[in-house]
């Protein structure tokens, strides 16, 4: 289906690998000009080579730092010709301590990766998105919707906060024609993912968990998340904002 994204400009944070890289590929396929972002310049250069598109640029920076987020956004807008239509906030990390071992510093680190990376970038990009009546999509997690016993508490709480932010900021942004939504993935398999490591270590036990917990009894793919991100960012969803959309194969019980 044509998503009417051709000619749009997009900044995708956390896109040097994994889900973010696949999202960047999807937006390029839809005819967008794309800026990819990550903390490591060499990884970004490798990602750009893998994408192999002429309408791609890159900006290195850690968007969990507000000053760096502002720099990333300003550079991206300049590279995109002065406008920004779509912002995808994909930075995040599910790695943390075991439940009951949380510390102040760990809470700070996980919130920086999973919440502030989004709020910093959105704050920096707000005026450009208002000018374009643009769209924001945050990549969250089903861990922020329902307690997943195996998930780190810090990660789950940070993603729940991100979901609350998306719902809360939708009305203020909506006054200016800017939409914001979130995709909440479940168990997604891609190179380097936790599920890739689990399957390598013990494929039978891993798939037994998936078959028990997931209605469709399969792992998702990064393209499943990318397709939803593109759909939500597109004009096809012009009357959709403030939503959190699970892409989990039917794992959530509530």
Catalytic residues, by residue number, are 155
Question: Rounded to whole angstroms, how far apart are CA atoms 153 and 150?
Answer: 9
Question: Rounded to whole angstroms, how far apart are CA atoms 19 and 163?
Answer: 19
Nearest to 33, CA basis, from 10, 15, 59, 53: 10
Task: Read off the DSSP letter of residue 12.
Answer: E
Question: Rounded to whole angstroms, how far apart are CA atoms 152 and 82?
Answer: 40
Q: What is the DSSP string of 152-191?
A: -HHHHHHHHHHHHHHHHHHHHHHTTT-EEEEEEE-SEE-T
């Amino acid at each position: 289906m044509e998503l009417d994204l051709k000619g749009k400009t997009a900044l995708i944070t956390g896109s040097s690998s994994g889900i973010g890289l696949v999202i960047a590929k999807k937006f390029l396929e839809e005819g967008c000009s794309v800026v990819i972002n990550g903390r490591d310049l060499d990884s970004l250069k490798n990602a750009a080579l893998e994408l192999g598109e002429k309408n791609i640029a890159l900006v290195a920076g850690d968007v969990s730092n507000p000053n760096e987020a502002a720099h990333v956004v300003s550079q991206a807008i300049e590279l995109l010709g002065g406008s920004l239509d779509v912002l995808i906030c994909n930075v995040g990390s599910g790695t943390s301590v075991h439940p009951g071992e949380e510390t102040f510093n760990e809470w700070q680190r996980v919130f920086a990766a999973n919440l502030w990376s989004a709020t910093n970038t959105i704050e920096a990009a707000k005026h450009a998105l208002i000018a374009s009546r643009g769209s924001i999509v945050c990549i969250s997690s089903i861990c922020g919707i329902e307690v997943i016993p195996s998930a780190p508490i810090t990660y789950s709480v940070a993603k729940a906060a991100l979901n609350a932010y998306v719902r809360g900021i939708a009305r203020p942004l909506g006054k200016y024609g800017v939409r914001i939504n979130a995709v909440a993935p479940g168990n997604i398999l891609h190179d380097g993912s936790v599920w890739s490591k689990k399957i390598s270590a013990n494929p039978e036990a891993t798939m037994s968990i998936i078959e028990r917990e997931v209605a469709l009894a399969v792992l998702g793919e990064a393209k499943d998340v990318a397709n939803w991100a593109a759909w939500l960012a597109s004009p096809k969803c012009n009357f959709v904002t403030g939503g959190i959309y699970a892409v989990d194969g039917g794992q959530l019980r509530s």
